[in-house]
Amino acid sequence: MTIASEEEIGSHETQDMSELRALNSEFNVVNEPKLATLVNSLPSASAPFQRWLKYREGYAPEIVDRAIAESEKSASLPLDKGTLLDPFSGGGTSLVVARRHGLDSLGYEVNPVIAQLSRAKTHNYSSTDFLVVDQAIADIRQLTDQSPQAKTPELKILQKVFRPDVLAILLSMRYVIDGIENYRARDLLKVAWVSILEGVSNTFKEGNGIKYRNRKRTKNGYVQVPWEQVPGYLLPARETCIDRFINQIDMMINDVQSFPANGIEPAIRERSSVASLSEIESNSIDVSVFSPPYCNNFNYFKAFKIELWMGGYVENYSHLKQLTDTALRSHVELDLSELNDQQEETLPTELLSIVSTLRSRKLWSRKLPDSVLAYFFDMHRIINEVNRVLKPGALAHIVVGNSAYAGLIVPTDLFIASMARELGMTVERIEVARALTTSPQQRRLIPRENQKLLRESVLVLRSS
Ligand SMILES: C[S@@+](CC[C@H](N)C(=O)[O-])C[C@H]1O[C@@H](n2cnc3c(N)ncnc32)[C@H](O)[C@@H]1O
């Protein structure tokens, strides 16, 4: 992940780092360069299960292996059983790994596309389920122009995203999949179908959203390319979609069969952990491993716009807004109206002083300082709940990245560590995995010495 970089440039006073340096020196901060390739999904993107859907927000399975190994060593986790909690379970990396270790697990995820991906990865499939999958593949092979289709999504840009014949075959495939009653087979088939959408569309994911393939970036800005010259545009719709789908599902079934399931299927709750962790019994969790959204103003739903609409996960724009509003408040498009009721004294003073300086700076959105506050209010709730639900002495491993706005560094790892300490947790260490790349604007605004705090880390906390 990269740090936010869209703020307007102005000549600002350099950030006074003395308070942040002092806070940094209060913790056991260690360099762990071997974690650099594990805190993001790219290096492991072609590994079994990880390769099902491009999901750049994920981390590598080894992040979870390490947390479980450390918990077992410190005897907080019985070797043969226990429960892992991931309040931001995303593509399900923590849950897949927990199950390989024979642990029960519980995840929360608000994006229904991603929640379905994690369910598909963690079902205990039976031979009956695979027979249902085989039958669906046979039905899909028989589809023609006349076959029934799922309802056309209301997404306004749909006609620009898919060629009409591609859209028609995709919706016919979805009609077959949605009609399957066996939920395990349906989850697997639906994820395979969702995974091919980007490749047969005229868009691709980039940064915080999607871009059209017929807009080419040049030295002088974007230029329009005729659709016919876009690679892949003239491929035959029916054969291309069905072949890609069948290759995808074959690969997924191969992964499932190479790692036979054992243990109970994880519980994946499709709702906000910020609002719902209170439903978990106190002292019931043995280890928690997670990576929350970063405080970098990324709207995770945007990159999955096509999948959300095409898959019927959202029906209309107000439904999409409702869903987006359940996310942890990490960007300015979210509802920040509740802020007035929240207690600023629960937040680190160093954070409050950064927010107050931010308010005096020229920013691309006036809501930005509030969104930073909202982020830490939500994270405060999460850490408080994680501490409550963990058994005494149990560990939480949390992957976070710091960010910067208008030349001001927001060291999320230090602020979460500080809040956790206030809440009675022990901060075992902050493991610095790697430096975050900065935009040229940020590099100009932030002195090199201060840039050291622009980093991605694994926080290791022990519950009280
Ligand atoms: C950094 S990703 C986690 C990736 C995951 N560790 C993996 O390896 O796949 C953060 C996830 O949190 C989800 N999320 C955001 N707000 C949430 C909330 N309030 N409750 C639960 N999940 C949330 C996002 O949709 C995103 O999938």
**Pocket flag, ligand 1, residue 98 (CB < 6 Å):** no
Mean pLDDT, range 49-56, rounded to an integer: 89
Looking at the structure, do residues 353 and 459 belong to the same domain, yes or no? Answer: yes
Within 295-404, residue ranges assigned H as helices are 305-310, 317-324, 349-359, 368-389
Mutate to test the pocket of ligand 1, among 40, 110, 329, 383 (most ligand atoms within 8 A of CB): 110
Q: Does the residue 271 lie in any domain? A: no
Q: 293 C-alpha to center of ligand 1: Å? A: 6
User: What pLDDT sits at residue 195?
Assistant: 97
What is the spatial distance between Cα 408 and Cα 17, in angstroms, rounded to a whole number?
10
**CA 354 – CA 9 distance, rounded (Å):** 17
3-class secondary-structure state, position 313: coil
**Is residue 454 in contact with ligand 1, taking CB distance under 6 Å?**
no
Establish if 146 belongs to a structural domain. Answer: yes
Mention every residue, 6+ apart, whose C-beta is less than 8 A from residue 98: 64, 68, 84, 104, 105, 266
| Structure confidence at residue 222 as a pLDDT band (50, 70, 90) | confident
Rounded distance, CA 335 to CA 33, Å?
Answer: 37
pLDDT confidence of residue 1: 47
Per-residue pLDDT, averaged over 406-418, amounts to 95
Q: Is 399's C-beta closer than 6 angstroms to any atom of ligand 1?
A: no
Does residue 445 lie within any of the structural domains?
yes
Please, what is the Cα angle at 123 between 105 and 274, to 5 degrees? 40
The residue contributing the CA closest to ligand 1 atom 27 is: 90
Q: Is residue 311 part of a domain?
A: no
d(CA 403, CA 396): 22
Q: Is residue 89 part of a domain?
A: no
Query: Where among 258, 278, 300 does a domain terminate?
Result: 258
How far is ligand 1, taken at its centre, from the CA of residue 312, in Å?
20
- Asked if 28 and 138 sit in the same domain, the reply is no
In a domain, 359, yes or no: yes
CA dihedral 81, 83, 84, 86 (to 10 degrees): 160
Domain of residue 157, residue span: 129-258
- Tell me the C-alpha distance between 204 and 210, whole Å: 5
Using the structure block, give the residue that is written with the tokens 């408040």: 329
Same structural domain for residues 352 and 242? no
The best mutation among 109, 294, 297, 400 to test binding of ligand 1, ranked by most ligand atoms within 8 Å of the C-beta, falls on 109
Q: Is 328 in the pocket of ligand 1 (CB under 6 A)?
A: yes
Q: If you measure from the C-alpha of residue 154 to the centroid of ligand 1, how many angstroms do you get, rounded to a whole number?
A: 26
Ligand 1 centroid to residue 272 C-alpha, Å: 9
Does residue 337 sit in the same domain as residue 461?
Answer: yes
Q: Are residues 252 and 352 in the same domain?
A: no
From the CB of 291, is ligand 1 less than 6 Å away? yes
pLDDT value at 178 more than 70 = yes
Cα of 15 from ligand 1 centre, angstroms: 31
E strands of 189-245, at which residues? 203-206, 209-212, 215-218, 221-224
Which two structure tokens, joined as six digits, stand for 268?
């994946």
Q: Domain ends where: 225, 240, 258?
A: 258
Give me the number of domains the chain comprises: 2
Give the residue from 215, 235, 258 where a domain finishes.
Answer: 258
Tokens of 462: 């022990």
Question: For residue 2, what pLDDT band results from cuts at 50, 70 and 90?
Answer: very low
Grouping H, G, I as helix, E, B as strand and the rest as coil, residue 352 is helix
**Residues 245, 159 within the same domain:** yes
Residue 453 included in any domain: yes
Phi/psi of residue 88, nearest 5 degrees: -135, 70
Query: How much is the average pLDDT of 173-196?
Result: 98
Tell me the CA–centroid distance for residue 292 and ligand 1, in Å: 6
**Over the chain, what is the mean pLDDT?**
90
pLDDT of residue 6: 44
Mean local confidence (pLDDT), 227-235: 80
- Domain match, 336 and 247 both: no
Q: How far apart are CA 306 and CA 167, in angstroms?
A: 12
**Dist. CA 88 → ligand 1 center (Å):** 4
Which residues are 429's β-sheet partners? Answer: 460
Average pLDDT on 321-328 reads: 92
pLDDT in tens, 353-384: 999 999 998 888 888 999 999 999 999 999 99
pLDDT greater at residue 178 or residue 15 = 178
**134/232 same-domain check:** yes
Q: Is residue 376 part of a domain?
A: yes
